[in-house]
Amino acid sequence: MKLLLAVAALALSLSATASFAAMDEASCSAMFAKADMNKDGMLGGDEDDAFNDAMASGGSKPKTDAMLSMQDFMAACQKGMFDNVMMQ
Protein backbone atom coordinates (compact mmCIF):
# COMPACT_ATOMS: atom_id res chain seq x y z
CA MET A 1 0.00 0.00 0.00
CA LYS A 2 2.81 2.42 0.86
CA LEU A 3 4.46 1.65 -2.47
CA LEU A 4 1.23 2.39 -4.31
CA LEU A 5 0.90 5.74 -2.55
CA ALA A 6 4.53 6.59 -3.27
CA VAL A 7 4.12 5.78 -6.97
CA ALA A 8 0.89 7.79 -7.14
CA ALA A 9 2.56 10.78 -5.46
CA LEU A 10 5.50 10.59 -7.86
CA ALA A 11 3.21 10.41 -10.88
CA LEU A 12 1.24 13.40 -9.64
CA SER A 13 4.36 15.47 -9.05
CA LEU A 14 5.72 14.65 -12.50
CA SER A 15 2.47 15.61 -14.19
CA ALA A 16 2.35 18.88 -12.23
CA THR A 17 5.93 19.66 -13.23
CA ALA A 18 5.17 19.02 -16.89
CA SER A 19 2.25 21.45 -16.84
CA PHE A 20 4.58 24.28 -15.83
CA ALA A 21 7.16 23.60 -18.55
CA ALA A 22 7.59 26.41 -21.04
CA MET A 23 6.64 25.87 -24.67
CA ASP A 24 9.32 25.20 -27.25
CA GLU A 25 10.16 27.63 -30.07
CA ALA A 26 7.91 25.90 -32.62
CA SER A 27 4.90 26.00 -30.27
CA CYS A 28 5.52 29.66 -29.46
CA SER A 29 5.86 30.53 -33.16
CA ALA A 30 2.60 28.75 -33.94
CA MET A 31 0.84 30.59 -31.10
CA PHE A 32 2.16 33.93 -32.35
CA ALA A 33 1.07 33.19 -35.93
CA LYS A 34 -2.43 32.32 -34.74
CA ALA A 35 -2.66 35.45 -32.57
CA ASP A 36 -1.32 37.78 -35.31
CA MET A 37 -4.65 37.96 -37.10
CA ASN A 38 -3.69 40.80 -39.47
CA LYS A 39 -0.27 39.22 -40.19
CA ASP A 40 1.72 42.41 -39.59
CA GLY A 41 4.34 40.72 -37.40
CA MET A 42 3.19 42.53 -34.26
CA LEU A 43 0.40 41.97 -31.79
CA GLY A 44 -1.69 45.02 -31.04
CA GLY A 45 -5.23 46.02 -30.21
CA ASP A 46 -7.37 43.00 -29.40
CA GLU A 47 -4.62 40.62 -30.57
CA ASP A 48 -2.40 41.10 -27.54
CA ASP A 49 -4.77 41.58 -24.60
CA ALA A 50 -4.46 38.06 -23.19
CA PHE A 51 -0.70 38.03 -23.68
CA ASN A 52 -0.18 41.43 -22.03
CA ASP A 53 -2.28 40.25 -19.08
CA ALA A 54 -0.23 37.04 -18.81
CA MET A 55 3.03 39.01 -18.96
CA ALA A 56 1.81 41.43 -16.29
CA SER A 57 0.83 38.58 -13.98
CA GLY A 58 4.32 37.15 -14.51
CA GLY A 59 5.93 40.44 -13.50
CA SER A 60 6.89 41.53 -17.00
CA LYS A 61 5.51 43.83 -19.66
CA PRO A 62 6.09 44.49 -23.35
CA LYS A 63 8.59 47.18 -24.32
CA THR A 64 5.78 49.26 -25.80
CA ASP A 65 2.24 49.50 -24.47
CA ALA A 66 0.68 49.64 -27.93
CA MET A 67 2.27 46.61 -29.59
CA LEU A 68 3.87 43.29 -28.67
CA SER A 69 6.72 42.39 -31.00
CA MET A 70 7.42 38.83 -32.05
CA GLN A 71 10.80 39.05 -30.30
CA ASP A 72 9.20 40.03 -26.96
CA PHE A 73 6.45 37.47 -27.47
CA MET A 74 8.93 34.65 -28.11
CA ALA A 75 11.07 35.57 -25.09
CA ALA A 76 8.05 35.60 -22.77
CA CYS A 77 6.56 32.48 -24.32
CA GLN A 78 9.74 30.46 -23.92
CA LYS A 79 9.86 31.48 -20.25
CA GLY A 80 6.41 29.91 -19.84
CA MET A 81 4.41 33.11 -19.43
CA PHE A 82 1.79 32.05 -22.00
CA ASP A 83 1.39 28.40 -20.98
CA ASN A 84 -2.10 29.08 -19.63
CA VAL A 85 -3.30 31.50 -22.32
CA MET A 86 -6.29 30.05 -24.10
CA MET A 87 -6.50 30.76 -27.82
CA GLN A 88 -9.87 30.89 -29.61
**Cα distance between residue 58 and residue 80, in whole Å:** 9
Every domain of the chain and the residues it spans: 22-88
Each residue of 25-81: pLDDT tens digit?
999 999 999 999 999 999 998 898 899 888 888 888 777 767 899 999 999 999 999
pTM summary value: 0.70
Alpha-carbon distance values, 35 to 16, 39, 59, 68, 84 (Å)? 27, 9, 22, 11, 14
**Cα distance between residue 28 and residue 62, in whole Å:** 16
In contact, 72 and 18? CB cutoff 8 Å: no
Each residue of 21-33: pLDDT tens digit?
678 999 999 999 9
Q: Which CATH number fits domain 22-88: 3.30.1490, 1.10.238, 1.10.10, 3.30.310?
A: 1.10.238
- Residue 88's pLDDT is 65
